[in-house]
Structure 1
Amino acid sequence: MDETYLWYKDVPVVNAANYTLAGNGNSVLQTVNAYFQALKTKNTTASGKPVDQFSFTLSTVDLQNQQSGITSGYGFRRSTLTSSLPRVVRVLYVEQGSPAQLAGVTRGDTITSVDGVDINDTSSAGIAALNAGLAPTVANKTTRFGLVAANTSTPRFVNITSSQTIAVTPVALSTVITDGGNTVGYLVLNSFGVVSAEKQLIDAITLFKNAGVNEVVVDLRYNGGGYLDLANELAWMIGDASLAGKTFEKLTCNDKNNLPFCNTTSAFHQTSQGFSVAQGQTLPQLGLKRVFMLTTGSTCSASESVFNGLSPFMQVIRIGNTSCGKPYGFSYENNCGTSYAAMQFKGLNALGFGDYADGFAPHCAVADDLTRQRGDPAEAMLSGALSYIRTGACPATPTAADKGLVQQVLQGGDYAIERSPSEAVRIVRGVQWRQ
């Protein structure tokens, strides 16, 4: 923290002796993390939020699983819209082939109970049961969920058994939509942090190219980031040949950090980088001059680098809500089974811009719509992009006839996905890890 940490000059004085196993559940990982978190800068952004909400530690085993596309739990991602009573907990999306999908859980479901405990239970035993059921720490835990589907009031109950080997599909959907004479490619990308994303992205762009799309909508609403090289590849594949040799991102570090990536400039990648496709393969390119990005407060880091990196060269139209604001990144350092992610660099685009710690505001403000599946042309955010493509303007304010739907959509406004800090990242490769 006193060498490569971006804000090393602002590290507070902390007594390491105060961080004991006894005070942290007799867990080495929890003790190390508590001390690590105490060392972070206390600086704030213009809006008052902490500058460094992002540095974290995790077990190296968990890191390796995450990067290989393996996660644990039930296979659905949720958001707590309201933590005060009455609590509202809804499902944002479900991993393909996961226990949750096999049990019939779907986007927009409201969780009403967990193992018979009402979601609004305030007793200590009830809260413990809710936490244990919603976030299982072991495999093969069967939990009974009470659910209510979007736009209905009828409860249903499903049993879901947890797993520690759920496969993550970074590209959740790639499809072609014909709308108003336009051929629109729609890409749902949940993560840049899984190596299989490279092949899946290439396959999706190839699909769009073969279909002759003239517009593309990239859905990054729940994408917390990942590898910068993969974000770079996607940016190149969206744009045209004029990006060749141009700067995608420059990484700036503190004044004494001599890690190899510091103060380096990355041009747009024209070939694959060897994640899940052989290195050096020519990437397909759509040749577009504008792109639509669907964003929320859960759009972080490497995701933000895509539209920041492209904006000097083409029109990038953001639909949705303000992104999370993370121009910072790191390379993992491993030591004795713990992986450390201290923010080590700030990313700048070709114009030298990287001051977006409070996020990128949308060009068109549209709430996330949990009443419809992603890919449904009537889903509010996708519909907003399609409307802009047809009319050249943001969608109109909803009419009185739409009031009921809109009130339901705006109940949470921007649904913050519940995930670990390790999923909101901007990662570079190539630095030797300490074992």
Structure 2
Amino acid sequence: MSGAPSCRRGTARRAAALAAACAAVGLAACGGGGGGDPAPAPPAAAAACDLASQKAWLRDDMAQRYLWNTLSPSPDPAPYGSLPSYFGALLFTGGGGIPADRWSYLSDSAAYDQFFAEGRTLGYGVAVNGAEGRPPLRVRYVEARSPAGVAGLRRGERIVSVNGRSGDELLRLGDFAALSPAREGDSVTLELEPEAGGTRRTVVLRAATFDLTPVPVVGTLPGPGGRPVGYLLMKDFITQAEEPLRTGLAQLRAAGATELVLDLRYNGGGRVSTANVLGSLIVGAERNGQVFTELRYNARLAAQNTRFTFEASTPGFQRVVVLTGPRTCSASELVVNGLAPYLPVATIGGATCGKPYGFNPTPNCGTTVSAVNFESVNAAGVGRYHDGLPATCSVDDTATGSFGQPDEALTAGALGWLATGRCSAAAAAPRDKAAAAVAATALRRGVVDGPGERPPGMWADRPAPR
């Protein structure tokens, strides 16, 4: 631990860097935000970065801005030997129909800013079906610009071994640490087998910091009567997604698509402002000025309650089908819930993760505190979906098949629903409910089996004027 004077200088440098990032992307937690700031000013940065000072700062911050500030414990910080242990002791333990806080978390500020301000992350770029715990271990997602993407890894490939350990063993133990490097240059060796079987290959990946691809797939599908149906896969609600969203949805409308399949199955959330951009493009200009979502803070800060409203200049879509599962969380759920009062919205896949809460993150001494600051409700006042938003049609995501292709399981289920308004025979088939429950529980406990993934969340920024 560095001494207090050095720590104060480091905090000042980090604060300046964060202020610059916030100026660029409009983070309300930094005091920006078109016409009104939903984030009350946090306590001043800790005078020093020793543990006692950090715990004192954290206690003050939680007492002011935590959503459940009057209901949560407030123990003496002295006995706690680390900031994470004290943070855990301050969290709401549940009551009044609300479960214990499983959403708040701490993160390294540099990594946090890199992901959400720069749209970049450190990793190999390969995600697996690890949370499900159901063999075989497969590649479920590959970041296009990552080492895995460059090496040609494909969704659906079976991972026979990781650094010589069998994929089945890793699934059984829930141990995917080898896929999360600590630094650039770390390596992992994967033995892979094609989805349909065949010749195995060995690939060595070296960790690197790469640009995220938040909107990796946009295209059309054959819909009812031969009409085109739009398809868009969205992975991250970051500002770098906004221009691809505008361009991609414009292309789909130009192709004649009036119905949209929106794939959010692996989207853990992000910025409320980016979710608002997506929602606005979907409902179109005729809904301008109507409420997308309202963020509600604790009673002490009720004056900070904020409404995000739709703003678009183009036509919208008539029907939307959203592909969902236990990794669909927070800002992704916000989109589904926010569209529901205005459009027929069906969900295909599995129930979402159940996180109607969000943050105004606060950095201090190199740690960014994401403690729940608000809950979200839609224009009809609907929120608190703690058990997740249920699927209209339940379909297993087998981590096979290409995204946006008619024969991929969830996509096929979406096309069947658009054609008939009912769940198709394949979609209606019994799901592995035990596996789905295991996946949801594992994800809630923080199992990380993907590239650069963060705990699920949504962050308030750039609110509309009230």
- Scaled by the length of structure 1, the TM-score of the pair is 0.82
Partner of 1:324: 353
Q: Which residue of 2 aligns with 1:183?
A: 228
2:456 maps to which of 379, 402, 424: 424
What CA deviation, in whole Å up to 9, does each residue of 1:47-105 have, x standing for no partner?
Answer: xx94421111112111111011111110112231555xx86532211011211122222
Q: Which residue identity does 1:318 align to in structure 2? A: T
Q: Distance in 2 between the 1:327 and 1:81 partners?
A: 22
- Partner SS, residue 65 of structure 2: coil
TM superposition shift of 1:150: 2.2
**What is the rounded CA distance, in whole Å, between the counterparts of 1:114 and 1:108 in structure 2?**
16
- What's the CA shift string for 1:98-145, capped at 9, x where partnerless? 1112222211223232222334559xxxx89x7553221111122211
For 1:55, the aligned partner's letter is S
Structure with the bigger percentage of strand: 1
Cα distance, 1:368 vs. partner? Answer: 0.9
User: Where do residues 37-76 of structure 1 align in structure 2 (5 Å cutoff)?
Assistant: 37-43=88-94, 50-67=99-116, 68-76=118-126
Q: Is the 8 A contact 1:80 1:88 kept in 2?
A: no
In structure 2, the CA distance between the partners of 1:410 and 1:99, relative to structure 1 (3 Å rule), is: farther
Give SS of 1:256's match. helix
> 2 CA distance for matches of 1:175 and 1:358?
32
Equivalent of residue 5 in structure 1, options 46, 61, 66: 66
Maintained 8 Å contact 2:325/2:353: yes
Contact 1:367–1:410 (Cα < 8 Å) also in 2: no
CA 256–177 in structure 1, closer or farther in 2 if over 3 Å, else same: same
State the one-letter code of the partner of 1:37. G
1:155: which partner in 2? 200
Q: Greater relative contact order (Cα 8 A, min sep 6): structure 1 or 2?
A: 2
Count how many residue pairs are aligned between Structure 1 and Structure 2.
389
CA distance in 2 between partners of 1:120 and 1:217 (Å): 33
The structural deviation recorded for 1:3 is 1.5
2:311 counterpart residue number: 269
- Determine whether 1:223 maps to 2:267: yes
Cα distance, 1:87–1:381 mapped onto 2, change above 3 Å: closer
Q: TM-score, normalised on structure 2?
A: 0.77
Q: In the superposition, relative to structure 1, how do residues 386 and 252 fare at CA in structure 2: closer, same or farther (>3 Å)? A: same
List alignment gaps of at least 5 residues for structure 2: 1-61
Q: Which amino acid aligns with 2:325?
A: T
CA–CA separation in structure 1 for the residues paired with 2:266 and 2:193:
22
SS in 1 for 2:230: strand
Residues 328, 346 of structure 1: 8 Å contact kept = yes
SS of 1:185's partner is: strand
User: C-alpha separation between the residues in 2 aligned to 1:106 and 1:411?
Assistant: 27
Partner SS, residue 239 of structure 2: coil
Aligned equivalent of 2:128: 78
- Secondary structure (helix, strand or coil) at the match of 1:18 reads coil
Write out aligned runs for 1:200-349 (5 A): 200-257=244-301, 262-270=304-312, 283=313, 285-349=314-378
In structure 2, give the amino acid aligned to 1:178: P
Q: How far did residue 314 of structure 1 move?
A: 1.2
Residue type at the aligned position of 2:87: F
Query: How high is the sequence identity, in percent, across the aligned residues?
Result: 34
Q: Give the direction of change, closer, same or farther, for the CA distance of 1:337–1:242 in structure 2 (3 Å limit).
A: same
Distance in 2, matches of 1:39 and 1:411, equals 32
Pick the aligned partner of 1:107 from 137, 146, 155: 155
Q: Deviations over 1:327-376 (max 9, x none)?
A: 11111111122111110111111111112111100111111132211112
Is contact 2:233–2:263 with CA below 8 Å preserved after alignment?
yes
Instruction: Measure the CA separation in 2 of the matches of 1:76 and 1:58.
Output: 21
- Structure 1 position 146 matched with structure 2 position 178: no
Counterpart of 2:257 in structure 1: which amino acid?
A: V
8 Å CA contact 2:273, 2:462 repeated in 1? no
Which residues of structure 1 form unaligned runs of 5+? 21-30, 271-282
**What is the one-letter code of the residue matched to 1:70?**
R
Q: Check whether the contact 2:145–2:212 (CA below 8 A) recurs between aligned residues.
A: no
- Does residue 90 (structure 1) correspond to residue 138 (structure 2)? The answer is yes
Is residue 150–residue 370 contact of structure 1 (8 Å, CA) maintained in 2?
Answer: no
